[in-house]
Each structure stands twice: as structure tokens, then as C-alpha cells.
Amino acid sequence: MSESDINPKDARSWTPRSIGKRWQHAFFYGMIRLLGRGPAYAFMRIVCLWYVGLYPFVRQKCAPYLAHRFPERATRRQRFAGAYRMVTALGETLIDRAAFGILGPNAVGMEVRGMSEFLGGLNEGKGLIVLNAHVGCWQVALSLFGQLETPVSAVMQFHQGDVDRRYYEHAGQAPPFQIIDPQTELGGMLEMVQTLQRREILGVMGDRVFGNDKNVVGVRFLGETVHIPVSPYRLAAMQGTPIVVVLTHKAEDGRYRVEVVRTIRVPSGLGRNAQAYAPFAQEFADALEAFVQEHPWQFFNFYDMWYHEASGVV
């Protein structure tokens, strides 16, 4: 089992690199293929107990979110229990993602809610920005929109040394969407603009700033200010592209529910000042906060979103 968002160096930092070794990944993949998800879940919980109990940086990575979402749970035992629950929830998601590729889509139940709103935005003919977050099984959720006739591009960051396979790699397939790397020159902005100019679908994460990007705007989230990317809202303003906020969670019946929770419309003519886009970024933050209030253990942004240097942004 691996956690691609955990970095032992600093609880404030984020890296896409997995901490698991290649053989550990292969072990879980083999277990899923031979025994299914249930035994993999059971063994994963033991592994998570090992990591949470013996590696303080794992607990440190969980601490900022737990402190903001559950300020009343302040004892060491409560924080430990919260960290364990967060990490095991992520472990289930990683197993489900692998099972989707190894065993096929039918192995992981998916349900889409709000598809009419999604298609309504797409049919406006101005392209469509799908704004999601690191909640639930977001990569598999994005695959559903890749089944549409309209091409899909997704902004995704990879680490050269990462051994954690994406679901489509298990099936020996090419990704069902075009991948835009935010670490390239101009942060992939040219490719994003071209995607929308072609009236296609662009998938963007709205809850994380990649690298040292200063293109951010401050919003309120769980009681304090966080900085999130402003580029989705600037892109939307260029040609009146609607933004649909799509969030995913694992329901009690084990199925994933992919929900269009809000449509954000950004007017044109707002210029380059990031603060002009703050009201629209706050709409996304409000939708995400409502999500974590209802599904607190489905949020997988394992770094301190609330930490800011004197300059304003980490």
C-alpha cells in the first residue's frame, strides 16, 4: 500500500511520489487479482496501522486537516484514531482504483448524479471545465467523462520515480483522456487554452497548487484562509466556459457516487488581478467544505493547506 501524498520531509509540503516499494505494490496488485478487494482491504489495514503507529510523518500529514475538520478531537488518542481512519480510507481508494483496472470497471460500482447539468454545460458549445478535488476515487470518476464523444484533457502531475500504477496501466491501455503536465513550460496553460478553444472538456484539480505556482487566490475553507489555483476561473472567463464542480465519494454500499454539485459561471472582463476571481473560487471552496462536512473521511489532501509564509503563499 502506498500513499502518494505523504512526504516525510515536511508536513507543509506535497509530492506525488509514492512511499511504497515496487514489490509492495506488486504484492497488493497480485492479491487483488487472485483474491479480490476484501482480503486486500484486510491486509491494508494492518499495513496502515504499522505506518501510522511507527512513522510520525504520516500522522503529521493528517494533522492539519484533522485539526480544522475536528477541532474538538484534540487528544493524542483521538488524533491517532483520526489519522488511522484517514489513511485506511485512502488505502481503500487505492485498492479500488487498482481493482478498476485489474478486474474491470464492473468490479467497482459507479453512479453518476447530475449528468443532465453536466451535459447542459457542455452543450453550450464553449467547452467545459470539470473542477474536482482530491476526494474519493477521482481518477476513476474522470474516466466516466472520457466515455463521452467529446475529447477530455486532464491536468495531472506525475513523479518520475513513482511506481504506483494508474488504473488504465493495469489494463495495459492508454489513458482515456489526454494528460496535461503542469510541470511543463507555462504550467500547461497553452494546452488548457487550446482544449477549451476546441470546445472540449478540461479536467482540473481545484484544491491544490502545484510546485511554486504563485497564480493563486485566497479563500476561506474550514475556518481559515487557504490558497487555491486561480487559473480555472481565468480560463472560464476567456470565452464564458461554464465550470462544473464534480466531487466523488464512496457510499456505505461500497459504490462510488460521482456528483455534479455546482455550476460556476465567471463573467468576462475581470482582468489579471487574482482577487477579482475570489468570489468564484470561494464558490468552489464552499462546495468542498460542504462535501467534507458530509464525507469527512473522503478528503485526501495530505499537506497543510492553511500554512502561509510571510510572503503569503507556500
Helices 189-197 and 231-239: crossing angle in degrees, nearest 10, is 30
Is residue 289 domain-resident?
yes
Q: Do residues 170 and 48 share a domain?
A: no
Is residue 311 domain-resident?
no
Residue 29: which domain range?
22-102
102, 132, 154: which is the final residue of a domain?
102
Q: Do residues 65 and 190 share a domain?
A: no
Q: Do residues 193 and 150 share a domain?
A: yes
Q: Is the pTM of this model over 0.85?
A: yes
Q: Where are the alpha helices (DSSP H) in 186-309?
A: 189-197, 231-239, 278-294
Q: Do residues 126 and 193 share a domain?
A: yes
User: What is d(CA 50, CA 147) in angstroms, rounded to the nearest whole number?
Assistant: 39
Residues 6+ apart with CB under 8 A from 193: 235, 238
- H or E segment to which residue 23 belongs: helix 22-35
Is residue 9 domain-resident?
no
Q: What are the pLDDT tens digits along the chain (314 aa)?
A: 333 444 434 445 544 445 567 777 788 888 999 998 999 999 999 999 999 999 999 999 999 999 999 999 999 999 999 999 999 999 999 899 888 888 887 888 888 999 999 999 999 999 999 999 999 988 777 777 767 889 998 888 765 555 465 655 655 566 667 888 887 777 789 999 999 999 999 999 999 886 555 789 999 999 999 999 999 999 999 999 999 999 999 988 888 999 999 999 999 999 989 999 999 999 999 999 999 999 999 999 898 999 865 334 43
Is residue 306 domain-resident?
no
Q: Do residues 63 and 144 share a domain?
A: no
Q: Do residues 126 and 273 share a domain?
A: yes
User: What is d(CA 290, CA 259) in angstroms, rounded to the nearest whole number?
Assistant: 13
102, 117, 141: which is the final residue of a domain?
102
In which region does residue 172 sit, left (phi positive, over 0), alpha (psi from -120 to 50) or beta (all else)?
left
Q: Do residues 68 and 138 share a domain?
A: no
Is residue 303 domain-resident?
no
Choose among 246, 298, 301: nearest CA to 93. Answer: 298
User: What is d(CA 102, CA 105) in angstroms, rounded to the nearest whole number?
Assistant: 9
Q: Do residues 67 and 134 share a domain?
A: no
Q: Do residues 93 and 125 share a domain?
A: no
User: What is d(CA 261, CA 280) in angstroms, rounded to the nearest whole number?
Assistant: 14
C-alpha cell at 30: 497480485
User: Would you state the pLDDT for residue 160?
Assistant: 53
Is residue 93 domain-resident?
yes
What is the tally of structural domains in the chain? 2
Q: Do residues 55 and 155 share a domain?
A: no
Is residue 314 domain-resident?
no
User: Would you state the pLDDT for residue 52?
Assistant: 95
Q: Do residues 33 and 182 share a domain?
A: no
Q: Do residues 145 and 253 share a domain?
A: yes
72, 102, 132: which is the final residue of a domain?
102
Is residue 193 domain-resident?
yes
